[in-house]
Structure 1
Amino acid sequence: MILLANIGSASKKYALADKVNGGAFQVRVAAHYEVSEISVEAYDRAHQTFLALLEAQQVQPADIDTVLMRIVAPGRYFQEHQVISDEYFVHLVEAEHTAPLHVHAQHEELVRLQEMLPQAAFVGISDTAFHATIPEYIARYAIPRSDADVYDIRKFGYHGLAISSALSRGTLLCDALPSRVIVCHLGGGGSVTAVRDGESLDTSMGTTPLDGLLMATRVGAIDPGAVLTLMEAKGMTPVQMRSYLNTESGLKGLGGSDDIRTLITLEENGNLEAKEALDAYAHRVRHYIGGAMATLGGADLIIFSGTVSERSTVMRERILSPLAGIGIKLDTNKNTAHADTQNDILLSAATSTTKIAVVHINEYEAMLDVWQSHA
């Protein structure tokens, strides 16, 4: 049996997969824990809660022989799916200071699970491997090559498993995957990815998951000069600035809340800061959609995935309505009717030059596909 662990910046997701008749693995039990919905103590014990759930269904820890963990970490070392060894742990610790929001949580979870499942083989499923196809001229930053190579500074991109799942879902909706696809994965974090013929060509995240879109608590794209000015003015260390940009910025910094639902309510009650934060969020998504269209030479399909995309009719319309002038037209009636259901759907108007889809991704399936193809 396989335990799947997907540890995000603010959530923990677990699943148990077992073989079915044909020999392929399928998810049998799954659970999702949000840091905003339970106590800190309960969140820290989420792995124990899930293993207890399995025991109640007659699955013992000793029955689990493999653990697959989604790994979100910068560096070429992590662009491959691989067995988690002592060397892997060393590299993960080294990466923790660069992308603390994800790597620290993953590191802690690995230690906890290895203590409870000492007999299991642990495999790191890379969240950046999907973006290994990004051309060198796009992946490189305009800094001296020697520094970029020595310090492993380049665009790695993230949300690879989510994007892979979104593309699979989009293929089913459209019967075949079009050549030019843009995937907008919008949740607590967010990214926009240009995909040509099923391969990543460019994406909004960079060396770390901090770049690109305005996110729940992450700043997204910002002038490096502004960062230096802030550090000097506030007397901040690099560690303090990293925390500031990762946990105090984004929607939280602009609007006072990291929850889009709260901000929508505040806006309805006349809060101008909340309105500005939501306008900025939508603008940033459109900005990167435009960049992706320029990179691809147009777009045949735009796929929206992630909790914001799935749940918020308001934000989908806010993002897409201004794009009608370039032929990307949302069917507002379909959009209003599609409120947080579990169905994948096309929401583009009949006259739209680009198809618009909302899909519900399954990263567990993507992780299992990777593992079975590499086993």
Structure 2
Amino acid sequence: MNILVINSGSSSLKYQFFKMPVKAPICSGLVERIGIEGSYIKHTVFRGTEKFITEKSAFIADHGEGLNQVLALLSEGDQAVIASPDDIVAVGHRVVHGGENFSGPALITEEVKVQIKKLFSLAPLHNPVNLKCIEVAEQTFPKAKQVAVFDTAFHQTIPQQAFRYAIPDHYYKDHGIRVYGFHGTSHKYVSEEAIKWLNKKDSKIITIHLGNGCSMAAVHDGKSVDTSMGFGPLSGLVMGTRSGDIDPSVIFHLIEHAGYSLSQLSTLFNKQSGLLGVGGSSDMRDISKLAAEGVDGAILALELYAYRIKKFIGSYAAILNGLDAIVFTAGVGENDKFMRASVCNELNYLGIEMDNALNAQYTGGIAEINTSESKVKILVIPTNEEYEIAHQCFSLLA
């Protein structure tokens, strides 16, 4: 089954093309800086062990034009992978927020689009552009089934005592104020891979997604029972530019005593905090380099980052009443051996003991980096959100 996966951001569009159920993509690509000067496309076709890369620099006004460029790359030239748009059976769309309406993938209908639109206020940077890409894809690939896969869906199994806030009941009933959680596609994929690796369905796993955005999930027998992001993607861990958990009293104080507006506070906590605010850069590679040079702010940023993760490991181990494995994934989780070591240091009381040599030697794929005596497995599992979206589409349609 030919499935095109679209993962759209506010000014970008990632895509992969699969012939399901084969896991390896036929091609993949990225359209960057949509609507901004310096628009750029990188398209890669995989044929056996060879890669054929096409790169283009030309202004792309909007996501519609971006998708038309993608269609041309898929269907034209020596490296074409389809003859026409009609060869695409399904288009799978990553949609950030599904609220309480969606606990799995959904075949897109007018009613589904209405529900996505109703959630604009909960994901203002993502749901509008997700819906726009759905509508453009309906025109670009008119015979294909359009399927939405929601970031929040995996976390719909979280019990009420974990997703409710201790505020009056009507704020939940009337305004939907609750924990929704995000990065669900990634947490679902790596937790399922961990269960297969452990060969243990009755499992207790903590998944740790560390990129520019960071989140963790407690996964019991394959189901999410708690997660660090809440009503929006600001809470929980220290991130590239987001503060993570902060006492709401700080917000009240800055409004009352420093004259901050709500817009200024949103910018502060979402775009000027985290690694950037403390260490001077939102990129972990820059922070690590500055810390190695002895820059105090960068050293503190790394300490805060690791400390917050350790706190959540402890709390989730308590919630799960035991632990079989912790899983590192995403850009930092997969590539930063020093951060993995910092997180796992002095967790032996929980049965978490890292093998420093295995951690340092890790170069990719699924691997254990714990000692042979460690009661808890420490796994590194590369996330594959695009394949997970394709897999969910295939399962729904097949």
Do the two structures share a fold, i.e. TM-score over 0.5?
yes
Residue in 2 that maps onto 1:7: 8
For residues 113 and 236 of structure 1, the distance between their equivalents in structure 2, rounded to whole angstroms, comes to: 41
Distance 1:81 1:297, change over 3 A: same
Distance 1:172 1:147, change over 3 A: closer
Distance 1:208 1:119, change over 3 A: same
For residues 350 and 279 of structure 2, the distance between their equivalents in structure 1, rounded to whole angstroms, comes to: 30
Distance 1:268 1:116, change over 3 A: same
Code of the residue aligned with 1:127 in structure 2: it is: D
> Within the alignment, does 1:133 sit opposite 2:157 as a pair?
yes
For residues 365 and 61 of structure 1, the distance between their equivalents in structure 2, rounded to whole angstroms, comes to: 20
Residue in 2 that maps onto 1:225: 249
Distance 1:252 1:175, change over 3 A: same
Code of the residue aligned with 2:271 in structure 1: it is: T
> Within the alignment, does 1:51 sit opposite 2:71 as a pair?
yes
Distance 1:255 1:111, change over 3 A: farther
Alignment of 1:158-237 (within 5 A): 158-177=182-201, 179-237=203-261
For residues 253 and 223 of structure 1, the distance between their equivalents in structure 2, rounded to whole angstroms, comes to: 17
Q: What's the CA shift for 1:197? A: 1.1
Residue in 2 that maps onto 1:366: 388
In structure 1, the gaps of 5 or more residues are: none
Return the match for 2:27 from 18, 23, 29. Answer: 29
Secondary structure of 1:322's match? coil
Q: What's the CA shift for 1:105? A: 3.9
Give the % identical residues. Answer: 34
Secondary structure of 1:284's match? helix
Q: What's the CA shift for 1:239? A: 4.1
Q: What's the CA shift for 1:371? A: 2.3
Residues 4-35 of structure 1: CA deviation (Å, up to 9, x unaligned): 11235786421112256xxx786322224566
For residues 47 and 233 of structure 1, the distance between their equivalents in structure 2, rounded to whole angstroms, comes to: 48
For residues 188 and 360 of structure 1, the distance between their equivalents in structure 2, rounded to whole angstroms, comes to: 15
For residues 292 and 367 of structure 1, the distance between their equivalents in structure 2, rounded to whole angstroms, comes to: 27
Distance 1:34 1:180, change over 3 A: farther
In structure 2, the gaps of 5 or more residues are: 42-59
Residues 57-112 of structure 1: CA deviation (Å, up to 9, x unaligned): 14233322421111111521344422333443444344333323433442443344
- What count of residue pairs does the alignment treat as equivalent? 369
Residue in 1 that maps onto 2:122: 98
Q: What's the CA shift for 1:360? A: 1.1
Distance 1:89 1:288, change over 3 A: same
Q: What's the CA shift for 1:174? A: 2.2
Residue in 2 that maps onto 1:17: 18
Deviates more, 1:73-82 or 1:311-320: 73-82
Residue in 2 that maps onto 1:344: 366
Secondary structure of 2:229's match? coil
Distance 1:105 1:322, change over 3 A: farther
> Within the alignment, does 1:328 sit opposite 2:348 as a pair?
no
Code of the residue aligned with 1:349 in structure 2: it is: T
Return the match for 2:379 from 357, 361, 364. Answer: 357
Aligned structure 1 segments of 4 or more residues deviating by more than 6 angstroms? none
Q: What's the CA shift for 1:329? A: 0.7
CA contact (8 A) 2:202 2:221 kept: yes
For residues 118 and 374 of structure 1, the distance between their equivalents in structure 2, rounded to whole angstroms, comes to: 19
CA contact (8 A) 1:74 1:98 kept: no
TM-score of the superposed pair, with normalisation by structure 1: 0.89
Distance 1:79 1:253, change over 3 A: farther
Q: What's the CA shift for 1:125? A: 0.8
Distance 1:276 1:26, change over 3 A: closer
For residues 251 and 354 of structure 1, the distance between their equivalents in structure 2, rounded to whole angstroms, comes to: 29
Code of the residue aligned with 1:352 in structure 2: it is: S
TM-score of the superposed pair, with normalisation by structure 2: 0.84
Secondary structure of 1:200's match? strand
For residues 198 and 182 of structure 1, the distance between their equivalents in structure 2, rounded to whole angstroms, comes to: 11
